[in-house]
Amino acid sequence: MAGFKHLVIVKFKEDVVVEDILKGMQKLVSEIDAVKSFEWGQDIEGEEMLGQGFTHAFLMTFEDKQGYTAFVGHPCHVEFSATFSTAIDKIVLLDFPSVVVKAAT
């Protein structure tokens, strides 16, 4: 699936219970039909110098940019974003139309 991607890379604050944030994200994406897929992972092998302290990556796929726009404006996303933003120390966001070179089999 190509579509439109929303990539979030974060470093959480020291006192954050990451499991609670993950549960909130999983609930969020299950409630919003515009999200076609959701993946996340925690860095376990990156060199500190290269990772710059970032620890978690989240990737959402939407059918198109309009789906992403609907997601951003959805009341559940607006509410969760307030909680999420207080939990992060550093963040990188990338939103882009995806170009598939080799599809998963």
pLDDT tens per residue, range 62-105: 999 999 999 999 999 999 999 999 999 999 999 999 988 888 77
State the pLDDT at residue 49: 63
pTM exceeds 0.85, yes or no = yes
State the pLDDT at residue 104: 78
Residue 94 structure tokens: 């990338």
Q: Is the CATH code 3.40.50.620 the one for domain 4-45+52-97?
A: no
* Per-domain boundaries in the chain: 4-45+52-97
pLDDT in tens, 19-59: 999 999 999 999 999 999 999 999 887 676 677 889 999 99
